[in-house]
Structure 1
Amino acid sequence: MRRGFAAVLSLLLFGAPSAAASRPHVTLITDSVAGSLIWDASAARIFSHGFDVDLELGSCRRLTTTSCPAGRETPENVLELIRAKGRSIGPNVVIAVGYNDFPAVYADGIEPTLRALGRAGVEHVFWLTLRAARHPYLQSNAAIFAAAQRHRELTVLDWNAHSRAHASWFQSDGVHLEGIGAQALARFMHDGVQRVLVAPPPIEVSLDFPKATITPRFAARLHAAGGHAPYRFSVAGLPRALHLRRDGAIVGSPPSGEWTLRVRVTDVRGVSGTQSIGLAVSPG
């Protein structure tokens, strides 16, 4: 008679997904358009809700070239600011700059900016498109979308499309904001960041193994639902002779016994969930 293994599984919720309990840190870097959060306190509150924010609001800021003077001061450009802040910039950065840049120069500056953000440990970059009140801004927007195709960490927040039908949000130049527009922009940025950082579906784990099946070699597979695929798994508490493969398969020839496996799954955006799975194996 061929000897095999019979496995009995029980899935127990070990804990809620372990997304950070503290508020996400978000740095917002602007020129004078999104810099309207300086003078509109309601807009600043809308954007800051639920976040730990660093508001780097500046008029006439450019991406990588020398910024234009704003009164008696010339603000740091985005690249200079990133380098000056280093890792204190935090893991999440919103870029709302570009109205003072020439499109070709702006496009060339996107890659150096993203490299600097990566060196500073930034995990998520949110980049606003420009409201295309002038044709050159369409070229800048095309460069933003092209960069998003090359960089998984980059999320485009398409302010141009979102604001297109709302002329009342803007001053006569079609770019700078009235109070209602400043609040609309703050809400748009806040919700775009929150969708990525705070509100993915919860991640749950299951182990696919037919109960009462007897096989000469143990084989099971971890599955995850929720969050954002692809997933990475780790398992603590596996008995000797069982091994977790990169694809989530657990294989081997375990001894008889009972174990509690602690399974951790992490999705592509870094959100994790942890569950325990009870595993009992007896000779077939």
Structure 2
Amino acid sequence: MAFAAVALPASSSAAVPPARVTVIGDSVATGVLWNEKALAILGQGVDLQMQVAVCRRLTGESCPYEGSQASTVVDLVASLGPRVGPTVIMVVGYNDFQRTFASSVEASVRGLLGAGVERILWATLRAARRPYLTMNADLWAAAAAHPELTIVDWNEYARAYPGWFQNDGLHLTRAGGVALATLLRAALVPQEDPPSIVLPASGLSVARLGRKYETRLSADGGAPPYRWAVVSGTLPTGLRLRPDGRIAGTPRRAGSVTVVLRARDANGATAIRRAALVVAR
């Protein structure tokens, strides 16, 4: 089966209809669609709609599969309109091209927001192949620009569990489908006190070319301690962000860069923020 649009009955018996959650996916998402236990986990208490198709791409044309061709994300969202609902989970991107991925993500997000979507959860790509790390950086950058977009870091969550994947390292075993559904389900539940990154109003302090530099990042909320990373962009040559939040080193090139910083708390919740760092002569 190449295409599937499945509506699952909600398990909630409340008088108020449960909120609609639409999953838009490619063949990786079939690991949830064709997995009864995974569907039960993800669909608990929500009106779950599965819009999953093999070979789906974000924009342009999807790749052909067994004589048929899936609609792209942009075309699917345009056809669904407001029926897509307020919350959308994206498990898609594996068939897209690296060179156009950032613009395709932007077009997809804009299309979803234009259809009335209020919250987008996008699972990072399992980086079993080289382009996907760069493409994940594009996802983090998009989230820094759109507060409605939350990145669910499937790549990091699954890093130590090769048994969740088939031989290609991308498609899911039954255990992998359950694991992905469990992660997405946790992301659906809003946190009472999520972490947030705190930066001075003036931004990061200016570094000087050839001189030792050190500054410490800070975060509020969530469950300390936090682990820090640059998830999009690159710090100036000679500087490195340590997991404890210290940016340190001796810059070897003048100029300015913009990066996306991520803080992950002890419970796995993340905060991201775009930051600029200047290296002056």
Considering the TM-score relative to the shorter chain, is it more than 0.5? yes
Q: Tell me how large the CA RMSD over aligned residues is.
A: 1.9
Structure 2: gaps of 5 or more residues: 1-14, 194-220, 222-281
Identify the match of residue 180 of structure 1 among 164, 175, 179: 175
**3-state DSSP of counterpart to 2:69:** coil
Q: State how far apart, in whole Å, the 2-side matches of 1:114 and 1:28 are.
A: 14
Q: Structure 2: how far apart are the matches of 1:45 and 1:69?
A: 30
- Contact residue 41 and residue 181 of structure 2 kept, 8 A: yes
Matches of 2:33 and 2:122 in 1, distance apart?
A: 19
How far apart, in 2, do the equivalents of 1:200 and 1:80 lie?
A: 35
* Cα distance in structure 2, aligned partners of 1:114 and 1:103: 17
- The answer to which of 184-193 and 141-150 deviates more is 184-193
Match for residue 116 of structure 1 among 80, 91, 111: 111
Using the alignment, how far apart are the partners of 2:66 and 2:120 within structure 1?
A: 30
Counterpart amino acid of 1:174? G
Matched, 1:59 2:54: yes
The normalised TM-score by structure 2 is 0.62
1:142 and 2:134 matched? no
Q: Aligned partners of 2:38, 2:53: CA distance in 1, in Å? A: 16
Contact 1:125–1:154 under 8 Å retained in 2? yes
Structure of greater Rg: 1
**In structure 2, C-alpha distance between the alignment counterparts of 1:22 and 1:86, rounded to whole Å:** 20
- Specify the code of the residue in structure 1 equivalent to 2:98: P
**Distance apart, 1:28 and its partner CA:** 0.3
Kept after mapping to 2: 8 A contact 1:40/1:182:
yes
| Identical positions, percent | 43
Is the CA contact 1:62–1:78 (under 8 Å) kept in the aligned structure 2?
Answer: yes
- Structure 2 residue 34 is the aligned partner of structure 1 residue 39: yes
- Tell me by how many angstroms 1:24 deviates: 2.0
d(CA) in 2 for partners of 1:126, 1:37: 16
* Poorly superposed stretches of 4+, deviation over 3 Å: none
Kindly report which structure 2 residues correspond to 1:73-88, keeping only aligned pairs within 5 A, or say none.
73-88=68-83
Deviation at 1:21, TM superposition (A): 4.7
Rounded Cα–Cα distance in structure 2 between residues aligned with 1:57 and 1:36: 10
Q: Secondary structure at the match of 1:33?
A: helix
Residue 159 of structure 1 deviates from its aligned partner by 0.4
Q: CA deviation at 1:66?
A: 0.6
Contact persistence 2:31–2:176 (CA under 8 A): no
Match for residue 155 of structure 1 among 139, 150, 155: 150
Aligned residue pairs: how many?
181
Tell me if the contact between 1:61 and 1:78 (Cα under 8 Å) persists in the aligned partners. yes
**In 2: Cα distance, 1:51 partner to 1:139 partner:** 33
Deviation of 1:69 after TM superposition, in Å, equals: 1.4
The whole-number CA distance in structure 1 between the counterparts of 2:173 and 2:82 is: 34
1:200 aligns with one of 192, 196, 200:
192
CA deviation after TM superposition for structure 1 residue 38, in Å = 2.8
Match of 2:92 in 1: 97
